[in-house]
């Protein structure tokens, strides 16, 4: 029975891109503790990352930002343009605004700092593999602070105490004239949680709704924002000051 269960586990193929050898060794050691995450290749700069990605077609790329020859941001853009099914998580010590937003604009679906705990890194990889966006909590707070001072449309009053308690970030806006179809108050709540990096299940738990309902809200948000995935929705929301 245990052997049959092991066969049913879906393996997430990961390409590790990091210019420091000791860091790569440490990350490989950490990944070996999991049954569902496997390092299938390594690269020590962005140029090699592009070549390895085309060769190996990994599910996830753990990408450093600052590297020789070609940095991780340029590599992420090239890879995402050619291999949209491959997701990129930036794993770096860089926490400045330029690198964060440049990485998201390049198509990265996650941004983690290198001091992340192993369990959180596993969660990031699994979440991004499932189609979610993952932002390290420190990064999410920085993003929220960056946009908190931007002007927005009038705010909506919560419909109930329960709804008010569910909001994790700035109050949401009610009027977005530049959008063909405005988002509802609930969809704006869900969008704020997408920006925060929560998975569909995390959104369902936070708002006390079913997983199916959370997925429906996310799908409607993508349609209304005319974007293809959660990363684009998060970047779109932050740039427009929707959250």
CATH for 65: 3.40.50.2300
Q: Indicate the residue among 138, 164, 192 that finishes a domain.
A: 138
Same domain (yes/no): 174, 198: yes
Count of domains in the chain? 2
Same domain (yes/no): 95, 47: yes
User: Is residue 120, in this structure, part of any structural domain at all?
Assistant: yes
Same domain (yes/no): 65, 164: no
| Structure token digits, residue 55 | 């060769």
Same domain (yes/no): 25, 99: yes
Cα(193)–Cα(55) distance, rounded to whole angstroms? 35
Q: What DSSP state is assigned to residue 40?
A: E
What is the full per-residue pLDDT of the chain (243 aa) written as tens digits? Answer: 444 444 457 899 999 999 999 999 999 999 999 999 999 999 999 999 999 999 999 999 999 999 989 999 999 999 998 999 999 999 988 888 778 888 888 889 889 999 889 999 999 999 899 888 888 877 776 666 655 444 433 333 333 333 333 333 332 222 333 566 788 889 989 988 887 777 888 899 999 999 999 999 998 988 888 777 777 777 777 666 676
**How many CB atoms sit inside 10 A of residue 8's CB?**
6
What local confidence, expressed as pLDDT, does residue 155 receive?
37
User: Is residue 144, in this structure, part of any structural domain at all?
Assistant: no
**How many CB atoms sit inside 10 A of residue 118's CB?**
13
């Amino acid at each position: 029975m245990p052997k049959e269960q092991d066969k049913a586990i879906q393996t997430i193929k990961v390409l590790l891109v990091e210019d420091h050898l000791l860091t790569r060794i440490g990350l490989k050691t950490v990944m070996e503790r999991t049954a569902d995450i496997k390092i299938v290749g390594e690269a020590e700069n962005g140029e090699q990352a592009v070549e390895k990605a085309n060769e190996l077609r990994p599910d996830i790329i753990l990408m450093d930002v600052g590297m020789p020859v070609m940095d991780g941001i340029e590599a992420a853009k090239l890879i995402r343009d050619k291999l949209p099914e491959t997701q990129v998580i930036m794993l770096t010590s860089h926490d400045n605004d330029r690198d964060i937003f440049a990485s998201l604009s390049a198509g990265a679906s996650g941004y983690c700092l290198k001091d992340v705990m192993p369990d959180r890194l596993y969660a990031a990889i699994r979440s991004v593999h499932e189609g979610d966006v993952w932002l390290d909590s420190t990064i999410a707070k920085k993003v929220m602070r960056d946009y908190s001072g931007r002007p927005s449309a009038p705010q909506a009053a919560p419909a109930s105490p329960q709804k008010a308690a569910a909001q994790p970030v700035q109050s949401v806006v009610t009027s977005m004239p530049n959008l063909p179809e405005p988002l509802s108050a609930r969809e704006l709540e869900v969008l704020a949680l997408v920006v925060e990096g929560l998975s569909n299940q995390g959104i369902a738990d936070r708002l006390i709704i079913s997983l199916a309902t959370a997925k429906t809200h996310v799908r409607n948000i993508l349609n209304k924002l005319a974007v293809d995935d959660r990363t684009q929705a998060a970047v779109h929301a932050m740039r427009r000051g929707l959250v």
